[in-house]
Amino acid sequence: MGVQVVHHAAYEVDIGPHVFPTAKYRLVRNRLVADGSVAAIDFVAPNPATDDDVALVHTAEYLEKIRSGRFSTREILTLEVPFSAALRESMWLCAGGTMLTARLALERGIGVHLGGGFHHAFPDHGEGFCLINDVAIAIRALQRDGRIDRALVIDCDVHHGNGTAAIFQNDPAVFTLSMHQERNYPAWKPASDLDLGLDDGTGDAEYLALLRRHLPGVVERHRPDLAFYLAGADPYQQDQLGGLALSIEGLRERDATVLATLADAGVPVATVPAGGYARRPDDTVEIHCNTIREAQRLSSSRPPPP
């Protein structure tokens, strides 16, 4: 059984000249179809999250701000993307997409989202290109619906998952792991349950060894009902916003390692792409494609959970 990939054309939002390439979602989709990795029929479009879903994580005051669009100049500077109705609609769809991906993961063992991973969004504000925290919303919605009790967030974006860490800081049911470049945005890094802060220039071998040393034990001790994997493309050596030195192959091995570790433990996983800002946008597209190719390879080689 092939993987279904959750995607919506409206993820591509015009934010003007910007380092965040919102075209990447469309480009990844087209490449996967062109090379036969995913059939066009296996892409599924989500419904937007409801305001009730989003309110499981975000404050009423912040949601009113998003609804009215009344942000201060300082708030827009912190968000680092221009706010628009199209951005709001895209982010509600994307949160709905991560929720759908999580449900597919519970049914099939692996769910793949071609969007999401907006881990810098806090309950009361957005920052670093992230308006609302799709992964946190999906976790809270699944808990509300009685689908899961315990979740694990494996955040391998080059930037610390500050919003996610803060949201789940006092919640023993949700384990947050962030593997990131220590000397990079965000300046304030609220503690995850496990923070693996990496030195500038960390390469494939060191990165993969650290991941293999920590991840199996975390999965075994926490025993999650579902894991979310933020497969950031920005630990890449040519990334404009990152200072690590992973190769495209090393990132693919990272993806394979995370997915196989979870499959071995019988833990369903929902993957989201998170960040990616390579000097050559084509490299970002290829790194994200590889995550989905690895998910496809694994799901066709192993039966879904009973």
Positions in the binding site for Zn ion (CB under 5 A): 157, 159, 234, 275
Nearer to Zn ion, 113 or 159 (CB): 159
* Residue in the shown chain whose Cβ atom is closest to Zn ion: 275
Cα separation of 265 and 252, whole Å?
20
195 touches 222 (CB < 8 A):
no
How far apart are CB 64 and Zn ion at their closest, in Å? 28
Distance CA 113, CA 209 (A): 27
Indicate the residue among 130 and 292 with the shorter CB distance to Zn ion.
130
Question: What minimum distance in Å lies between the beta carbon of 126 and Zn ion?
Answer: 14
Between 29 and 159, CB nearer to Zn ion: 159
To Zn ion, the closest distance from the beta carbon of 122 in angstroms equals: 16
Residue 138 CB, nearest distance to Zn ion (Å)?
Answer: 19
Cβ distance to Zn ion smaller for residue 234 or 255 = 234
What tokens does 259 get?
A: 């997915």
Residue number with CB closer to Zn ion (157 or 204)? 157
Nearer to Zn ion, 181 or 296 (CB): 181
Task: State the nearest-atom distance from the C-beta of 275 to Zn ion, in Å.
Answer: 3
**Could you tell me if 150 and 222 are in contact, meaning their C-beta atoms sit under 8 angstroms apart?**
yes
Residue type, 77: L
Smaller CB separation from Zn ion, 157 or 253: 157
**Least distance to Zn ion, CB of residue 157, Å:** 4
User: CB of 274: closest distance to Zn ion in angstroms?
Assistant: 6
